[in-house]
Amino acid sequence: MAQRVALSEGGNKKHSRVRVAVRLRPFLAQPDERDDGPCVRGLDSQNLEIINWRNATESVKYHFDAFYGEKTTQQEVFLSSVKPILPHVLNGQNASVFAYGPTGAGKTHTMLGSSEQLGVIPRAVREVFNLVNAKDANEGWDYKIGMSYLEIYNEKVLDLLSPNSQDLPIREDKDKNIFIPGLTHITISSFSDFDSHFVPASLNRTTASTKLNQRSSRSHAVLLIKVVRTWRALHHRQQTGKLYLIDLAGSEDNRRTGNQGIRLKESGAINLSLFTLSKVVDSLNSGTAIRVPYRDSKLTRLLQDSLGGSAHSVMIANIAPEYKYYFDTFSALNFAAKSKLIVNKPFTRETVAPPVLTVKRARETHEAQEAGTEPQKKRQKEERKTEQDVPSSSTSVQSLSESSVMDRLIVLEKLMMSCQDKDRLGMLKDVAQSRKEIQELKEKQKELEIKAMLFSRLAGEKAGTKPVFKNTVAPLQRKQPSATKPSRQQAVVQPLQVLELQPLQQLAVKVKKQSVCVKRKDRKIPEQAEPPDGKENTMQTEWESQLDTSVLEQSREKILQVLNTGSLKELKGLQQIGDKKAKLILGWREINGRFTKVEDLVKVEGMTEKRFSSFMKANILSAMGK
């Protein structure tokens, strides 16, 4: 089963503020209109000013990440604002670019452009292919690129690659990722392949003519470019990055556009979604809102990852210089100023599936046995009879060993994912060394089992009975009165405890109460003596030595993971950790960083060595009892 791993850059989640750029289109005064000049002008590459409508002698100044004047080319916009965020997509992170502004301000021109002046969308897709082709073949990753294209028209999600589809739902998975079931996804291998699908799909987008714009977009268009890279050494490890390229429909003043009928309904849906977008921005900036209204609109639901989510986001606000657009421009600048205060938290999305260990089926073994010759079947029958007389635990040991190997491999896999590429070669060497050690331990374990079996057979022959092996500790034996004692007791040998790890407390009680002796004439040789009164049993003081090494390491690793990444609620879920102690751990972690080992817990205020020992014992036993 696949495990979802979210790895942040540098070990901590890196904050990324929404970058906002403003683009001013050229002045387009009509011959029959009074030429009052522009109402807005740029001051430098980051600042601009607009006339104050309350007092024409004053102006309102704005500062953004970038300002593009009337003569700025499409290439300059792309290189400055869009290109820097594209490498994140190849590293398993999300990125988002969307154009905002009133109708007729040039949003579609910025995003799509023309055959002579390509816009952001074709340039960004071409750059993604260039980045993938520039990757070193020895890097160890294989890349696959796919695309989806949709529009939101009258609050309906429509698939532009499959125009006959109906309204599609928007869903959210358990990892808080937004997705659309049933949306067409096409794998593309080159930019020409992308262009052959994108151009026909763009013609399916809903547009219409209004008084302010001959080709006005009546819907919000979203292009999704998905990049999946797979590590060649471990094919079950994948990183997925998504690039959202969004061309928003413009807000409209129906008194100036002259919308009626269907155009009026479209305008109402567009303005409502943009109003909800403004509420989302206000809610994120306030920092006190209990609920951010993402679900109030299909548009904001899709932008949930771009605003306040985990994407590297760029907003290009398009404005017009004419006085008739004054209030639309003023509103767009205010919205852009609020949007640049939003902070996202990008992180790498990685999917890891544990390796599948092939286990030989009992049916295949049976068929292989049936295919043997008669002498072989007779010998196998005798061997099975011997195994029934002395039950072997090899199957259970093998299952436990494979489970232990898988757990250790998964832990090492997570460590490799947290390393940089240059450190992974060393991690692979550690994996090989670990596998070698595990194999040596398994061989040593088999030798010990053979010795125990031989010893039990010898003891059984001397006692005149067959040896008996069990997978658990022998049941408690009450000391019988001397009058009812049998004349001769058979030796009971404890089997090697490798199959089941019993709860430590039960094991300690059994060993403390049990005293098994071998009676030979008048001499008694105690095998297990009861400790003197008032002294603690050594098995209870050195309890860790009685546990399987892999289980103990796994338990310590889980405790360390909760200490480093657990929330207040998860820390309180640990044994002997209350609300006060959990807050002290969070405070220590905030000041000093991650715990390098579980023993660092003693550095937390109030955690003594004795309390730490009790804490570890309680949590490991609790994990084993589940």
474 to 191, 400, 494, 546: CA distances (angstroms): 71, 21, 7, 17
Query: Percentage of residues in the chain with pLDDT exceeding 70?
Result: 66
37 marked among binding-site residues? no
Sequence-separated (6 or more) residues with CB below 8 Å from residue 284: 292, 307, 308, 342
pLDDT tens sequence across 17-75: 999 999 999 987 665 565 677 889 999 999 999 998 888 788 999 999 999 999 999 99
Contacts of 211 (CB under 8 A, 6+ apart): 256, 257, 258
Does residue 82 contact residue 128 with C-beta atoms inside 8 Å? no
- Residue 427 pLDDT > 90, yes or no? no
State mean pLDDT over 221-235: 88
346-355, 475-484, 485-494, 509-518, range with the lowest pLDDT? 509-518
For residue 323 the two structure tokens come to 């006085």
Quick check: 404 pLDDT over 50? yes
The residue-averaged pLDDT of 481-499 equals 45
Please state the rounded mean pLDDT for residues 254-265: 58
Is 102 annotated among the ligand-binding residues?
Answer: yes
Q: How far is CA 40 from CA 63, 256, 339, 475, in A?
A: 13, 20, 20, 90
Q: Which residues pair with 241 in a beta bridge?
A: 227
467 and 460 Cβ atoms separated by less than 8 Å: yes
Contact 560, 594 (CB under 8 A): no
Q: State how far the Cα of 408 lies from the Cα of 438, in Å rounded to an integer.
A: 10
pLDDT exceeds cutoff 60 at 138: yes
152-196: pLDDT as tens digits: 888 889 999 988 888 899 998 887 788 899 999 999 999 999 999
Please state, in angstroms and rounded to a whole number, the distance separating the CA atoms of residues 130 and 343.
Answer: 29
Q: Is 316 helix (H, G, I), strand (E, B) or coil?
A: strand
Q: Are 132 and 282 in contact (CB under 8 A)?
A: no
What are the phi and psi torsion angles at 600 (to 5°)? -65, -10
Which of the residue ranges 66-75, 177-186, 266-275, 441-450 would you say has the lowest mean pLDDT? 266-275
Query: What was the pLDDT predicted at 381?
Result: 57
Q: How much is the pLDDT for 439?
A: 82
Q: Which amino acid is at 7?
A: L
d(CA 594, CA 63): 38
161, 224, 222, 158: which is closest to 197 by C-alpha? 161
More confident residue, 264 or 108: 108
Asked if residue 105 belongs to a known ligand binding site, the reply is: yes
Predicted pLDDT of residue 613: 86
pLDDT higher than threshold 50 for residue 297: yes
| CA 621 from centre of chain | 29
Structure tokens at 307: 């605003």
pLDDT at 394 over 50: no
Q: Is 108 annotated as a binding residue?
A: yes
Q: For residue 373, is pLDDT > 60?
A: no
Ranges 90-104, 126-140, 291-305, 370-384: which has the least confidence: 370-384
What is the model's pLDDT at position 97?
94
Instruction: Kindly report the number of other CB atoms within 10 A of residue 143's CB atom.
Output: 17
Which pLDDT band holds residue 245 (cuts at 50, 70, 90)?
very high
Q: Rounded to whole angstroms, how far apart are CA atoms 114 and 194?
A: 16
CA distance 176 to 171: 9
**Position 609 pLDDT exceeds 90:** no
Indicate if the pLDDT at residue 7 is higher than 80: no
Report which of 511, 471, 516, 510 is spatially closest to residue 490, judged by C-alpha positions: 516
467 among annotated binding-site residues: no
Q: Does 31 count as an annotated binding residue?
A: no
pLDDT in tens, 82-134: 999 999 999 999 999 989 988 888 888 999 998 889 999 999 999 999 999 99
Contact 577, 570 (CB under 8 A): no
Confidence band of 503 (pLDDT split at 50, 70, 90): very low
Q: State the Cα–Cα distance between residues 233 and 250, nearest whole angstrom.
A: 48
Helix (H, G, I), strand (E, B) or coil at 425: helix
Give burial (CB, 10 Å; 0-12/13-18/19+) of 28: exposed
What domains appear along the chain, each with residue ranges and CATH number? Answer: 13-352 (3.40.850.10), 549-624 (1.10.150.280)
Q: Is the pLDDT of residue 346 over 80?
A: yes
Write out 350-404 in H/E/C secondary structure.
EEECCCCCCCCCHHHHHHHHHCCCHHHHHHHHHHHHHHHHCCCCHHHHHHHHHHH
User: What is the rounded distance in angstroms from the CA atom of residue 574 to the CA atom of residue 156?
Assistant: 47
Are 145 and 128 within 8 A, CB to CB?
Answer: yes
